[in-house]
Structure 1
Amino acid sequence: MRDVARLANVSVATVSFVINGSKPVTPATKARVEDAMRQLDYRRNALGRALASKRTRIIALLYPALQRRLTETAVKFFTSATQRARELGYNLVLWPISNEAEQIEELISSGFIDGVLLMEVQLDDPRVECLQSSTMPFALIGRVRNPESVPYVDVDFENAVVDAVSYLEGLGHRSFCLVDSADVEYALTGYGPLVRTRETFAAEMQRRGHRSAHLSCENSPISGQAVVERLLAAAPDTTAIILMNDNASFGLINGLLKQDLEVPADVSVLLIGASPAVAETTDPRLTVMSLPSTELGRMGVETLIDQLEERGAPMQHALVKCSFEEGQSTGPARNREKFMAQEVAD
């Protein structure tokens, strides 16, 4: 550090201020110090910095890996959050623990992290209650039942469902089915995205006066294929399926084809809450309401770091819309009732 101070023609204390960010330094002086550090190949001592500032500049992204498999969209979010944290001078680590409050308490007491980002939020999430009773800064990627008192950014699942129904309705569809994930329901009781999607779908069907069905299946292609038989038994006149289950999409398309139903000529399929990459794995390519994973990762980190830096920003409550990408799996509705009557007559 003395060598850096000598080369930059500043005091050792000034070098310390630049390294630790403990006091403001003019841009010109900071540039000289950083240039001297590069010339001397000086490496910041992260442990020394943490001891001096009483901060590790590490934030933890908590993901309940025991209950929820790490999906492609979650990885995309994690990558975006990591990059944004680095830009703001922090390191972000993925902390794959369960959704139990006891594990949160252990993490908080370790002194290893400065703040927490919480993913896969339940409406009545025990982890949130634990964080609220602590002094640990935190932010949610998701919403609890009454979210006004906690900082969050989340996907606007409600409007995604409304937009999906409106789009399909515009194509003439009047008989809908929502197919979602049974695995998530079993693993995370009251999982926010699932509950909000179901409630909004039911409300829209009632408001618009459309026929509807709701089915759940496990997160696998074989379960997606099997759910088609259940659908045809429960609601054979369905012409539009809104699918909220990435891993079942391939099987569902195959299941429809095995029942001699063409997509989209007989049944339209719209994938919601996924990514374009998932939509491209089927033939035909799925129409999708894709998750804003990159934007959510950036916003979540900024929301947390605003608290850590005590910037005085108002508590963040933000909903981010899904983006619509039309594929080849949606088209004008066919009169299935008339078509089935003709088949019987023939």
Structure 2
Amino acid sequence: MSYTIKDVAKLANVSIATVSRVLNGQSGFSKATEEKVLNAIKELGYQPNAFARSLISKKSNTVGILFPEVSSQFSSKILRGVEEASHHHGSSVIVCNTASHGQRTMKYLQLLTEKRVDGVLFVSEMITEEYYNTLESMQIPVVLVSTESYQYPLPFVKVDDKHAAFTATDYLVKMGHSKIGMLSGNKEDIIAGQPRIDGYKQALALRGHDITDKNIIHSQGFSFKDGFAGLPKLLEQSPDLTAVFAASDALALGAISSAYKLGVKIPDDLSIIGYDNLPIAEMAIPPLTTVAQPLEEMGMVAAEMLFTIMEQGKRVESRIMPHSVVERESVKKIIFT
């Protein structure tokens, strides 16, 4: 049998309003009354209806998070941090996989509206006018993760992509490389595409090395397939390269796999550095040297920012997170004699 809040009130001999106040942690009742209500709930095995409670408290104790690819290691590490912070604040997380598809994103935003979520975390995609208008209409806090908007005033948590790409390229230079190519993502992507290209070029320019378009392959995305297809094209255009900066670990791993097929030894014939420090990077053969984004910490920080807005009504400052080079075995040091 399914019991209702009326049954709890009747057994405890109190009003429905009193039961509601106890359930929602409000004041206006004695300790003895609270104990009677809790004992009645336990005796009946009453399970409060989450939606009904949200109507009373104006809170659903849920947050929504939108990923362009929910199954990736990138997303899973961010999600782990978000869930850790959300659990600490007594909230649950609704995960939405948008597949970088505008219609699906809008569908999920509508779903989150219907679920009356208390806030939204928006991961790794550009904020369009349509997305922003919908988020504004929801009248709830929004924090961006691994993306930012120059046009709309939304707080964000991310690494400085240009600086991180500079660091990766400069590391190769410091390891003695001067003929350095790049496997980039989509250059039309103003969040992670072009800034990483700019960082690569800036590092070469600072060290006085040549910058030429034939040393860059622009991919549609940052996937393993993009890296696998891109490396042969890059080496065909620039066969004298000694090192490659790949703008994601997935691109780098695709390039390593392609190099194996081509008979190119990593790092003896060609050094490769990635970007992200995904768990699979250390499982590669050879283990991948890469620029690390603190993805789990980014998820936790973004969630804490969201809860600060929701619970305290405070403005929060955007956060640029630190990056670092994780040295493994895919980059060879060139020693001049």
Q: C-alpha separation between the residues in 1 aligned to 2:38 and 2:305?
A: 31
Aligned to 1:234: 237
The Cα shift of 1:153 comes to 1.0
Q: Deviations over 1:119-169 (max 9, x none)?
A: 122265642343245523211113334278211111232332222123222
The range that moved more, 13-22 or 226-235, is 13-22
- Alignment of structure 1 residues 247-266 onto 2, 5 Å: 247-266=250-269
Aligned to 1:112: 116
The range that moved more, 209-218 or 91-100, is 209-218
Q: Deviations over 1:83-135 (max 9, x none)?
A: 32122011111122333474366346525322211112226564234324552
Contact 1:22–1:53 (8 Å) recurs in 2: no
Change (3 A) 1:117 1:250: closer
- Alignment of structure 1 residues 333-344 onto 2, 5 Å: 333=334
Please tell me the residue identity of whatever aligns with 1:142.
S
Aligned to 2:297: 295
What SS class does the counterpart of residue 234 from structure 2 fall into? helix
Q: 1:156 aligns with which of 144, 155, 160?
A: 160
What SS class does the counterpart of residue 193 from structure 1 fall into? coil
The range that moved more, 217-226 or 173-182, is 217-226
Please tell me the residue identity of whatever aligns with 2:216.
H
Q: C-alpha separation between the residues in 1 aligned to 2:241 and 2:127?
A: 31
Q: How many residues align?
A: 325
Aligned to 2:74: 73
Q: C-alpha separation between the residues in 2 aligned to 1:34 and 1:197?
A: 59
Aligned to 1:327: 328
Q: C-alpha separation between the residues in 2 aligned to 1:330 and 1:231?
A: 18
Please tell me the residue identity of whatever aligns with 1:235.
S
The range that moved more, 169-178 or 125-134, is 125-134
Change (3 A) 1:290 1:321: same
Q: 2:272 aligns with which of 269, 273, 289?
A: 269
Aligned to 1:318: 319
Aligned to 2:63: 59
Is 1:224 the equivalent of 2:227? yes
The Cα shift of 1:205 comes to 2.3
Contact 2:70–2:76 (8 Å) recurs in 1: no
- Alignment of structure 1 residues 272-287 onto 2, 5 Å: 272-275=275-278, 277-287=279-289
Change (3 A) 1:240 1:18: farther
Contact 1:177–1:214 (8 Å) recurs in 2: yes
The Cα shift of 1:220 comes to 5.8
Change (3 A) 1:221 1:93: closer
Change (3 A) 1:261 1:315: same
TM-score (normalizing by structure 2): 0.79
Please tell me the residue identity of whatever aligns with 2:55.
L
The range that moved more, 171-180 or 107-116, is 107-116
Q: 1:305 aligns with which of 304, 307, 326?
A: 307
Is 1:211 the equivalent of 2:210? yes
Gaps of 5+ in 2: none
Q: C-alpha separation between the residues in 2 aligned to 1:293 and 1:236?
A: 35
Contact 1:267–1:333 (8 Å) recurs in 2: no
The Cα shift of 1:51 comes to 2.3
TM-score (normalizing by structure 1): 0.77
The Cα shift of 1:270 comes to 0.7
Is 1:172 the equivalent of 2:176? yes
Change (3 A) 1:72 1:103: same
- Alignment of structure 1 residues 85-124 onto 2, 5 Å: 85-97=86-98, 98-100=101-103, 102-103=106-107, 106-107=110-111, 109-110=113-114, 112-122=116-126
Q: C-alpha separation between the residues in 1 aligned to 2:227 and 2:181?
A: 13
Change (3 A) 1:236 1:318: same
Please tell me the residue identity of whatever aligns with 2:240.
D
Q: C-alpha separation between the residues in 1 aligned to 2:53 and 2:294?
A: 35
The range that moved more, 44-53 or 283-292, is 44-53
The range that moved more, 151-160 or 244-253, is 244-253
Change (3 A) 1:25 1:249: farther
The Cα shift of 1:222 comes to 5.7
The range that moved more, 170-179 or 208-217, is 208-217
CA RMSD of aligned residues (A): 3.8
The Cα shift of 1:259 comes to 4.4
Please tell me the residue identity of whatever aligns with 1:199.
D
Change (3 A) 1:223 1:148: closer
Please tell me the residue identity of whatever aligns with 2:199.
T
Contact 1:143–1:154 (8 Å) recurs in 2: yes
Q: Deviations over 1:290-316 (max 9, x none)?
A: 33221111112112222221x143323
Aligned to 1:342: none
Q: 1:136 aligns with which of 133, 140, 151?
A: 140
Q: Deviations over 1:196-220 (max 9, x none)?
A: 2122222322233223421134666
Q: C-alpha separation between the residues in 2 aligned to 1:328 and 1:137?
A: 43
